[in-house]
Amino acid sequence: MSQRPLALFGGTFDPVHYGHLRAAWEAAERLDAEVRLLPANVPPHRAQPVLDADQRVELLRIALAGQSRLSLDTRELGRAGPSYTVDTLHGLRAEIGPERPLILLVGADAFAGLPSWNRWLRLFDLAHVGVLTRPGPARALPPELEQQIQTRHCALDGVWRARDAGCIVSLDVTDLDISATAIRAEYAAGREPRFLLPDAVRERINARGWYAVPGG
Ligand code: ATP
Tens-place pLDDT, residues 30-68: 999 999 999 998 766 678 899 999 999 999 999 999 999
Q: What letter represents residue 152's amino acid?
A: R
Strand 70-72, strand 34-39: pairing: parallel
pLDDT at position 213 over 70? no
Q: What is the mean pLDDT of the chain?
A: 94
The confidence band for 2, taking pLDDT boundaries of 50, 70 and 90, is confident
Share of the chain above pLDDT 90, in %: 88
Closest CA to 50 of 14, 19, 77: 14
The confidence band for 162, taking pLDDT boundaries of 50, 70 and 90, is very high
Q: What letter represents residue 142's amino acid?
A: P
Going by alpha carbons, the residue nearest to atom 25 of ligand 1 is 19
- Give 55-87 as a DSSP string: HHHHHHHHHHTT-SSEEE--GGGGSSS---HHH
Q: What is the pLDDT of residue 43?
A: 65
- 8 Å CB contact between 75 and 37: no
Q: What is the pLDDT of residue 82?
A: 76
The domains of the chain are located at 6-208
* Ligand 1 center–CA 155 separation, angstroms: 23
* Ligand 1 center–CA 78 separation, angstroms: 22
Q: What is the pLDDT of residue 138?
A: 83
Q: What letter represents residue 178's amino acid?
A: I
In degrees, rounded to 5, the angle at the alpha carbon of residue 81 between the alpha carbons of residues 78 and 83 is 70
- 8 Å CB contact between 200 and 63: yes
pLDDT at position 104 over 60? yes
Q: What is the pLDDT of residue 80?
A: 75
The confidence band for 214, taking pLDDT boundaries of 50, 70 and 90, is low
SS3 4: coil
Going by alpha carbons, the residue nearest to atom 9 of ligand 1 is 11
Q: What's domain 6-208's superfamily in CATH?
A: HUPs (3.40.50.620)
* Ligand 1 center–CA 191 separation, angstroms: 21
Q: What is the pLDDT of residue 24?
A: 98
Q: What is the pLDDT of residue 216?
A: 47
What is the number of the ligand 1 atom nearest to the C-alpha of 182?
Answer: 2
What is the number of the ligand 1 atom nearest to the C-alpha of 18?
Answer: 27
Closest CA to 38 of 106, 117, 130: 106
Q: Reading across the β-sheet that carries 168-171, which strands appear in turn?
A: 70-72, 34-39, 6-11, 102-107, 128-132, 168-171
Q: What is the pLDDT of residue 1?
A: 55
- Mean pLDDT, residues 180-207 taken together: 97
**Which residue ranges have their beta carbon within 6 Å of ligand 1?**
11-14, 19-20, 23, 106-107, 109-110, 132, 134, 176, 178-181
- Mean pLDDT, residues 149-168 taken together: 96
* Ligand 1 center–CA 108 separation, angstroms: 9
pLDDT at position 118 over 90? yes
Mutation choice for ligand 1 from 134, 139, 183, 201, CB with most ligand atoms inside 8 A = 134
Q: What is the pLDDT of residue 35?
A: 98
Strand 102-107, strand 6-11: pairing: parallel
Going by alpha carbons, the residue nearest to atom 23 of ligand 1 is 20
Report the distance separating Cα 171 and Cα 132, nearest Å. 5
The contacts of residue 143 (CB under 8 Å, 6+ apart) are none
- Mean pLDDT, residues 81-87 taken together: 87
Q: What is the pLDDT of residue 81?
A: 74
Going by alpha carbons, the residue nearest to atom 20 of ligand 1 is 107
What is the number of the ligand 1 atom nearest to the C-alpha of 175?
Answer: 28
pLDDT at position 20 over 90? yes
